[in-house]
Amino acid sequence: MDDRGPAQGRHVPVMRDRILTLLEPSLTRPGAVHVDGTLGMGGHAEGVLEAFPEVTVIGIDRDHEALALSAERLARFGDRFRPVHAVYDDIAQVIAAQGWARVDGILFDLGVSSLQLDEADRGFAYRVDAPLDMRMDQSEGLTAADVLNTYDVDELTRVLKDYGEERFARKIARAVVRDREQRPFTTSGPLVELLRRVIPGASQRQSGHPAKRTFQALRIEVNDELAGWRRAIEEAVDVLAVGGRIAVLSYHSLEDRVTKRALAAGATSSTPEGLPVELPEHAAYLGLVTRGGEEPSPAEITQNPRAASAHLRVAERIRENHQQATRSTTSGRSSLSRGSTASAGTGTKGTTR
Ligand SMILES: C[S@@+](CC[C@H](N)C(=O)[O-])C[C@H]1O[C@@H](n2cnc3c(N)ncnc32)[C@H](O)[C@@H]1O
């Protein structure tokens, strides 16, 4: 914690120094641009802005409150920091609207922020009885209560199984549909009670808090997290300049699996077996900087228990791939004027400053 404003005290950025070290080769290039795709309270972005005084940072978040806090926190960096309200799947449109075609560094620190977890009325925490909202962007979309009160048993089972890896998905789904006939779900308390009732005691003793998996599943469904992440990582790799690096922090196996597959696909030649030479358009276009996921040190986990499940993967763009080369009309900076703000029609809602 320090005294620079309200956002600082809320969050210790996970593996911050390690990320800065791994991004250094791409962010010390002249005129480097970095995208923080999950700006949150701006902890990582602040680290980049301080460590690399020439770098411009575009910070994306879908949460208006997080953007407002980090805009205040990072205002001292002036035009070097550009906060944008958008979903990270729109990364290409966001950077184009800011005046670039390619960027040198990209960071995604996936999941929910400490701000979202700590504010009971956002509905992410199962340890307090709070409205079942869970939307990261509270201006649109279904809430967790809407999902619980409107999905049928099969849909609820799919969500709990696919996104929560919950063994008792169907049993829970049936109980939800039964209970909501008496009283629709509005707050987390009755849902947690239902889970304590339905999940066998032995399983509750072995697998941690009984609401953990159901809350994760609802959060992923409400925010379309996995589908959004699949789209985003492809698009992010596509806008990375040759020599640029992408870093991803994941907190559960589902999103880490998507990350691992996307980076491994780029790091593997797709030349059909049996061909005597590698075709240039099939050559690997990513180099893996981290082998397997790196984890925070025990000391960091003691200091910040929320870092415990983090896995960091970093890759470097080593060449253009066919798709990227044909889609791009310029290499390097685009012809859009620098400093233009995201506008209607780009899919973003403009800057917050
Ligand atoms: C773990 S926090 C990031 C914390 C940040 N690295 C820091 O140092 O403060 C994740 C942030 O990503 C945002 N987020 C999650 N999914 C998003 C999406 N699809 N598009 C844009 N932002 C998203 C959340 O609103 C949240 O603020």
| Residue of 16, 62, 254 best suited for mutating to test ligand 1, as the one with most atoms within 8 Å of CB | 62
Q: Is the pLDDT of residue 115 over 90?
A: no
pTM score above 0.75: yes
Mean pLDDT of 96-101: 97
Fold of 8-114+225-327: Rossmann fold (3.40.50)
To which residue do tokens 């589902």 refer?
254
109 SS3 class: strand
Fold of 138-222: DNA polymerase; domain 1 (1.10.150)
Q: Is the pLDDT of residue 292 over 50?
A: yes
Atom of ligand 1 nearest to the CA of 115: 27
Atom of ligand 1 nearest to the CA of 13: 8
Could you tell me where in the chain the CATH 1.10.150.170 domains are found? 138-222
Q: Cα separations (Å) of 188 from 18, 68, 123, 144? A: 37, 27, 7, 10
Distance linking the first and last C-alpha atoms of the chain: 25
Could you tell me where in the chain the CATH 3.40.50.150 domains are found? 8-114+225-327
| Residue of 16, 17, 61 best suited for mutating to test ligand 1, as the one with most atoms within 8 Å of CB | 61
pLDDT at res. 140: 87
Q: What is the mean pLDDT of the chain?
A: 87
Atom of ligand 1 nearest to the CA of 45: 8
**Residue 61 · residue 71 · CB < 8 Å:** no
Query: Which run of H or of E encompasses 240?
Result: strand 240-250
Q: Is the pLDDT of residue 350 over 90?
A: no
Tell me, using a 6 A CB cutoff, whether residue 313 lines ligand 1: no
